[in-house]
């Protein structure tokens, strides 16, 4: 009985530990000038999201305008296209986020 209780308690602790380490991917983008934009990919716990895929997609038809990866600082800098766009950051299947050009200041 004590052995079973110990296993259940250990499983509960491990479950809580993995939940505590769960995080989400976020994008923070800002306009440096009217044409220059910098986006930084970070996790909800503040960790930089380095070397993850970034895509610029045209609003409407979702045509791929550019594909790149974030740098060592988790950043991606680009010239804003002359059409509406979305920035999509993909860490893995469970960590995907995006931001529309209209939301960038």
From the number of C-beta atoms within 10 Å of its C-beta (0-12, 13-18, 19+), residue 18 rates as exposed
- Predicted confidence (pLDDT) per residue in 54-81, tens digit: 999 999 999 999 999 999 999 999 999 9
- Edge to edge, the sheet with strand 36-43 lists 25-31, 36-43, 75-79
User: Is the pLDDT assigned to residue 17 strictly greater than 50?
Assistant: no
Which of 2-6, 35-39, 69-73, 82-86 has the least mean pLDDT?
A: 2-6
pTM of the model: 0.76
Smallest CA-to-CA distance from 86 within 36, 27, 44 is with 27
Q: Which residues contact 35 (CB under 8 A, 6 or more apart)?
A: 79, 80
């Amino acid at each position: 009985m004590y052995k079973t209780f110990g296993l259940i308690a250990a499983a509960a602790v491990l479950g809580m530990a993995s939940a505590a380490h769960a995080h989400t991917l976020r994008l923070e983008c800002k306009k440096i000038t009217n044409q220059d934009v910098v986006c930084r990919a970070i996790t909800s716990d503040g960790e930089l999201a380095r070397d993850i895929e970034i895509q610029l997609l045209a609003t409407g038809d979702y045509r791929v305008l550019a594909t790149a990866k974030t740098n060592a600082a988790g950043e991606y800098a680009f010239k804003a296209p002359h059409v509406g766009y979305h920035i999509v950051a993909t860490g893995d299947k469970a960590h995907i986020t995006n931001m529309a050009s209209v939301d960038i200041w």
